[in-house]
Structure 1
Amino acid sequence: MKILIRIGLLLTLFGIAWSCSQEEFIEKGQGIVKGRVVESETYTPIANARVSSSPSTSTVFTDSLGYYTVTQVNEGDYSFEARKDGYIAKFEAVHVNTGGTTEMVFELVKQQENNLPPTVPVLTTPTDNAMDQSLEVTLKWTCTDPEQDALTYKVTLRNDTSNNVVTYDNITTTSFTLTNLSYSTKYYWQVTANDGVNPDVNSLTSSFRTLMFPNARYLFVRKAGDNNVIFTADDSGNELQITSDATNSFRPRKNTQANKIAFIRTTGGQGHIYTMKPDGSSEFKVTSNVPVAGFNLDYYNYCWRANGSQLIYSNFDKLYRINADGSGLIQLYQTPTGKFISECDWSYDGNLIALKVNDLSGYNVEIYVIDMSGNVVANVLSGVNGAAGGLHLSVNNTKLVFTRDVSGYQSSDYRQLDNRIFMYDFTTNATTEVAVQRPAGYNDLDVRFSPNEAELIFVSTSNDGVSPRTITKYTMGTSNSRTTLFSNGVMPDWK
């Protein structure tokens, strides 16, 4: 009896063990993977393409229509590959489910490894950093193709004064002529080569600078978007932009002895004085710790010393002198009443400074002249309502020209209604209006002497506050000599 019980227990244990072993060796389910192999650009079927997987399943080949089917694929994750001579192999990751069908389309890209790209174009003419190039420049470069494929080129051109980028496409020779270039402008150019098979091949970037602007004696400011930009111009009306429209630059003042142009540029909410060469190159920031400041920088002025070594400028009620290299900042003067110094002009001999001071709103104007010790030597204007400005001393210190709104109108937007030009005579201490045949309803602003002091240059505009402004000149004592020089311009200078 005991023997039978033991035999029964052994049979039971063996049955359990055999059952567990059977569960461990049950195969997982299977699915199907099928799809198509085509060209990536045209979707043309690719016949006889090899389709395989990792982990390995069956290896199959596509039929004449590019179709393939892989059967009896165990459930799980796979990486399938489609391969065909002349094409780049393509891999796709998939998960196969039991009893399911997974579809995949392979888009194969043709191989170009048998076709080499063109050589990198080498820019030969003009040489990099070439100077004094004409306004018509022929660009030249060299480039070859290993298979002698027909090449097309693209020239990309930009300059240092604007954000404009110009491209010239479908060039079939290794030269291209640029026309209508601007004076005193640095250009950057690059050539792109293409053989119709491989990706573009770009050259290095090269640069050249065109001729200096001839006899450019005028400077003025014009709006470009939200910024002011500075232009130079000649007697024939030819104009050249010399500051970038990406910066706010205005109030240019040229010094002929230093052969530099000073100007104001606003950055970070502050205005500072900069200098540059007449072509707009070699910009240098002069002021740093004490910025320019007044009631309104649109009606602000500063001045060179005649020899070009120093400048004077104001910061609210204080007048400063600074060397042109940014050193030697000193305070020259402070208004006794706390009024702001909005404009200043330094005499040719360096002994006198004319000042225009005003309150926070630009009114309660006083114009007077001080010596270099800060003593007032002449009172030109005081006790009047309305705006005034545009100070400029004659070379021999006998006259001071300025403008004043004789209407006496005052408003929060500083609108002016009847702004006229006046001349103060230091010999007689008399102020007289200069008749320049101003049309009714117009303002004459920002007046300055011409270099020979026989003419005046100023801004003319309707008093409506919205009309365009023009740079105008007038020959004193000559009827019908009021002439428009430049349209849409302000802040003129004439040296």
Structure 2
Amino acid sequence: MKSKLFLILLLLTMSYACKEDTIDENGTGTLTGTVVSEGDNMPIENVRISTTPASNTVFTNAAGKFVIQNIQVGEYSVQADMDDFLPAFEAANINFAGEEVNVVFELMESTAGNRPPSSPELIYPPDNATDIPLIVDFSWSATDPDNDDISYTLEVLNGSDSEVLLFEEIQDTTFTVQNLRIGVNYFWQVEASDGINPPVQSEVSSFRTMDENTNRFLYVREVNGNNVIFSGADTDDDDDGPNENEIQLTSENKNSFKPRKNNTAGLVAFLRTEGPETHLFSMKPDGSEIRQITSTVPVAGFRQDEIEYTWFNSGSKLYYPNFNKLYAINSNGTGNQLVYETPPNEFITEIAVNEIDNRVVLKTNNALGYEVKIMVIDPETDTILTTVIENELGAFGGIDYAANGNRVLFTQDVSGFQNGNYRILDARIFEHDLTTGVSIEIDTDKQAGTNDLDAKYSPSEGGVIFVNTPNDGVSQQDIFVARFGAIVVKELVFTQAFMPDWE
């Protein structure tokens, strides 16, 4: 009997003891915590904290801390979520009412295992390449092992003056750079970045741009209402078509025209509008070092687009007109002097020089562009040596003088048409033999209703360069080369271009 009573008491005691240790499922506690970044233990703000089973969702403060109050007693999985970090989980048990449990999260950046892109491989221009055009389509290749998007930075260094061209946020593996300098050694490098890892760089590669003698042609185009000077080339490869190696030399914000290169001086002269006047300027063949030559006496006469000037004395001087006066000026702008004068109503419009004997061919005309005279003069003796054209109707132009001094090139409107607008109907190219006094037309296979204008000899005088355009005065102008032979070969070299020069 006593043993049974003892057993009952023992069971009641054990039952009471167990009841004291059991979780009170009806109570609530508090869950606190801190979230830091792995490695540097910096607190992370605005991390989303949630639990499973669900309770309240809260966010960390600036110190990386959070509190969930009145959380039911129980076992929880606590989750921390933040952009750019991997989700993290911690266990938390609220065992009894009023208990406060603390957890700590160390969040790992989601890119912690990310790998950088490969070092870019430079493709074009090849290392140590030469004769590269001044417009370069740079290309390279790179890959990313995690397929991240790659952005590139292209750096191009001018080896002559250390100027750096920097192009950032390139999203492709090709990039076009324009207006590089003639005859310059360049160095280039590409940097690749996936926005996660430190950028990686390519090797440094070098190339040299084409020599200034590659672009032997100069011409003009209208851009944004101004005349702009360009240079270009014409290689033997017919597949390249017209407009080869085009380089813009002057600004679109200035009206620049009538370029004339002198190889001895290493300069290009040209005309530029400055306020109400037109003046002579010079520049390097790459368009650099522009300087004004004339100042007190401007270039003036009949129609600025018809006026010509010329180099002489091995590129140290220039002749230019001011109405009926011919001036000579040093290429540095000094020593301006009057050297020849025509009657007041005879404007000097075009000038060409023979360097052998320093004789000068002049074209004069009246204020409307007619009553033309083309004559060979000796400015030292102030005498007219030969008259090539006089007392003929119509417009003339395109004056040039052969190197041997026995031929003069010109264009003539054979229709003889004259009106107040200086319209030209049928201009053709002629060559006048000063020995025989005979002028012969150069057949360029000109189409009816067009004009051949602005004719000049090629450097070898084995052909001519000229402009062909419809005779309405408003249509497109194109530049052609006609090479002499048993059959004259005509080639389109530049489109929508005029005022050619070929040296």
User: One fold, TM greater than 0.5?
Assistant: yes
What code does the residue aligned with 2:502 have? W
Matched residue, 2:462: 454
1:402 aligns with 2:399: no
C-alpha contact 2:153 2:167 (8 A) present in aligned 1: no
Distance 1:467 1:152, change over 3 A: closer
1:478 aligns with 2:475: no
Matched residue, 1:428: 436
What's the CA shift string for 1:426-447, capped at 9, x where partnerless? 1122323233322222211111
Q: Residues of 2 paired with 1:179 and 1:193: CA distance?
A: 17
1:233 aligns with 2:249: no
1:380 aligns with 2:385: no
What code does the residue aligned with 1:331 have? L
- 1:328 counterpart SS class: coil
What code does the residue aligned with 2:211 have? M
What's the CA shift string for 1:205-246, capped at 9, x where partnerless? xxx994435622222112212113332323355232242342
Matched residue, 2:256: 249
C-alpha contact 2:279 2:295 (8 A) present in aligned 1: yes
What code does the residue aligned with 2:306 have? Y
Equivalences for 1:109-148 in 2 at 5 Å?
134=132
Structure 1 residue 133: Cα displacement: 9.3
What's the CA shift string for 1:148-174, capped at 9, x where partnerless? xx9966669999xxxxx9864458xxx
Q: Residues of 1 paired with 2:343 and 2:284: CA distance?
A: 37
C-alpha contact 1:222 1:231 (8 A) present in aligned 2: no
Distance 1:167 1:226, change over 3 A: farther
Equivalences for 1:357-376 in 2 at 5 Å?
357-372=364-379, 373-376=381-384
Q: Residues of 2 paired with 1:188 and 1:291: CA distance?
A: 43
What code does the residue aligned with 1:379 have? T
C-alpha contact 1:293 1:316 (8 A) present in aligned 2: yes
C-alpha contact 1:230 1:249 (8 A) present in aligned 2: no
Aligned residues: percent identity?
39
What's the CA shift string for 1:314-364, capped at 9, x where partnerless? 111110001111111110011124321111111122421111111112122
Structure 1 residue 301: Cα displacement: 0.6
C-alpha contact 1:386 1:404 (8 A) present in aligned 2: yes
Matched residue, 1:162: none
Give 5+ residue unaligned stretches, structure 1: 1-38, 40-44, 50-124, 126-130, 141-149, 160-164, 198-207
What code does the residue aligned with 2:403 have? V
What's the CA shift string for 1:12-49, capped at 9, x where partnerless? xxxxxxxxxxxxxxxxxxxxxxxxxxx9xxxxx99999
What code does the residue aligned with 2:249 have? T
Equivalences for 1:54-453 in 2 at 5 Å?
134=132, 168-169=169-170, 178-179=175-176, 181=178, 184=181, 210-213=209-212, 215-227=214-226, 228-236=228-236, 237=242, 238-246=244-252, 247-305=254-312, 307-372=314-379, 373-453=381-461
Q: Residues of 1 paired with 2:169 and 2:188: CA distance?
A: 11
Q: Residues of 2 paired with 1:215 and 1:153: CA distance?
A: 32
Q: Residues of 1 paired with 2:388 and 2:443: CA distance?
A: 19
Distance 1:459 1:167, change over 3 A: farther
C-alpha contact 1:212 1:279 (8 A) present in aligned 2: no
Matched residue, 1:7: none
Structure 1 residue 190: Cα displacement: 13
Give 5+ residue unaligned stretches, structure 2: 1-45, 47-57, 63-121, 123-128, 141-148, 159-165, 197-206, 237-241
Distance 1:209 1:428, change over 3 A: same
What code does the residue aligned with 1:428 have? T
Q: Residues of 1 paired with 2:483 and 2:131: CA distance?
A: 37
1:493 aligns with 2:501: yes
- 2:421 counterpart SS class: coil
Q: Residues of 2 paired with 1:266 and 1:485: CA distance?
A: 27
What code does the residue aligned with 2:246 have? L
Q: Residues of 2 paired with 1:308 and 1:276: CA distance?
A: 13
What code does the residue aligned with 2:429 have? I
- 2:305 counterpart SS class: helix
C-alpha contact 2:218 2:229 (8 A) present in aligned 1: no
Q: Residues of 2 paired with 1:133 and 1:440: CA distance?
A: 41
Q: Residues of 2 paired with 1:251 and 1:398: CA distance?
A: 25
Structure 1 residue 465: Cα displacement: 2.0
Matched residue, 2:471: 463
Residues matched between the structures, number: 365
C-alpha contact 2:345 2:367 (8 A) present in aligned 1: no
Q: Residues of 1 paired with 2:191 and 2:421: CA distance?
A: 53
What code does the residue aligned with 1:263 have? F
Distance 1:137 1:46, change over 3 A: same
Q: Residues of 2 paired with 1:177 and 1:437: CA distance?
A: 43
Q: Residues of 2 paired with 1:477 and 1:153: CA distance?
A: 53
Structure 1 residue 378: Cα displacement: 0.8
What's the TM-score once normalised by structure 2's chain length? 0.61
Q: Residues of 2 paired with 1:240 and 1:213: CA distance?
A: 12
Q: Residues of 1 paired with 2:488 and 2:230: CA distance?
A: 29
